[in-house]
Chains A and B, each alone.
Chain A
């Protein structure tokens, strides 16, 4: 399946050129999107995604869906990257060692079950 807007965004992260969408008010959001979800501005421009983010919250999932059966247990986290947050699977450390405040870098990995691209938050 092709998801225009999203696939290019993953590719950009994989190339080390990650971005997010920013409106003149400084609200961040993720593509594909035509309008800022926070203030309805249509003046969205690409802004550079910071190379490092900070884990704001996480969970260690022991019971996942069929697409993650080869991943369990795994940590899914929401990390803050300046004006935008990303949700991803934490790799590069054991799930039990993930902490709030931990620095992470966005990467593109592979879902071990489906072989699809996976947004990874790699522990620094």
Chain B
């Protein structure tokens, strides 16, 4: 089985671009990834494209062939949809395609246009990641779902809103130097706690913003990279995916995320590593509580211990295992269908040494990305390693 290398990454500025079409956003990211990879267009054999709500936000279904056009490619293209894990799944399937020998080069990524919708309409669109009959009709929103999990966590394990505020403060700090991030603004724990409530106990600054953006990666086989003398020091050495019942109330425990545990177990086994080997992580922090659930699910903390990690400084840029050095979904932004690809783009930059926050992880060799869909009914975990 061949290894898979990241030959090039491309990102748009994440932020509010209500006038920009999804096709334009993805075109920009795809061209940037192509340029960085130096791979000629004719060598790209397929496109795996992640998108969640384009049928609602742009009334555009069947987006993948459109995105191939925008990338200037004539190859087949397929859209992957697993809510906020759409691009994570798109990348995972690209990894599997290259490993199988079916293709030497696949372009993977995703896009989401969101800020052209009103807050109410974007809330409604995002909520479609939940169970329509049993959750959406009971008024469950996306922040509301994580609020239900946060309170369940507090009840079962302890912790409070101040613990969660430290996660938001950390991720805003990390985003400060990141040119692609939506927010370049330091915040305080007091500001997080005093921010307006969205869905109690989730306040406005516990939540990721609404974001437009796109991500793209050119993934190549080891042999292709060697044959073409590509500068591609980062490999994807592990991939895993986990699932769970869609509705929260159908889970055995509301304060843990078994889909993440399953995805991590598969990815670690695939890469031949363990949680102890992980130097840095990009996790799916759509809400502050989500980062806590992720770092526990990935095996870095026992259940109940993760909530104090940011407060204790263990997951900050100078901590023992930095979490979300990019700023995370919380501060870098969360264009849902693009996020899984952007996490791998950011991890690649961090490990290569060309990310503004690479200085915090100069000796790092192994990073993990974690992308989740809905209330973690889908989870995708990747292990990335760099040649040193």
Contacts and interface: CB of A to CB of B under 8 A. Distances in A.
A interface residue count range (under 10 / 10 to 19 / 20 to 34 / 35 or more): 35 or more
Contacts of B136: 65
Contacts of B120: 64-66, 69
Contacts of A71: 139
B276 interface: no
B interface residue count range (under 10 / 10 to 19 / 20 to 34 / 35 or more): 35 or more
Interface in B139-175: 139-141, 143-144, 147-149, 151-152, 155
Contacts, number: 103
A35 B110 CA distance: 34
* Residues of A contacting B: mostly: strand
Residue of B137, B148, B155, B247 ringed by the most chain A CB atoms within 10 A:
B137
A61 interface: yes
Contacts of A74: 139
* Residues of B contacting A: mostly: helix
A67 interface: yes
Contact of A60 (B134, B200, B249): B200
B123 A63 contact: yes
Contacts of B138: 76, 87-89, 118-119
Given A3-B133, A118-B137, A118-B138, A59 B121 contact: no
Nearest to A119: B138
Given A37-B250, A60-B200, A87-B249, A66 B134 contact: no
Interface string B175-218: 00000000000000000000011111110000000000000000
Residue of B139, B245, B247 ringed by the most chain A CB atoms within 10 A:
B139
A6 B133 contact: yes
A76 B143 CA distance: 12
24 contacts: A30-B134, A30-B250, A56-B152, A57-B151, A59-B200, A61-B139, A61-B198, A61-B200, A62-B197, A63-B143, A63-B199, A64-B120, A65-B127, A65-B136, A67-B139, A68-B139, A74-B139, A78-B248, A78-B249, A78-B254, A87-B249, A89-B138, A116-B137, A118-B138
Query: Which 7 pairs from chain A and chain B are nearest by CB?
Result: A59-B147, A65-B124, A85-B249, A57-B152, A60-B200, A57-B151, A87-B138
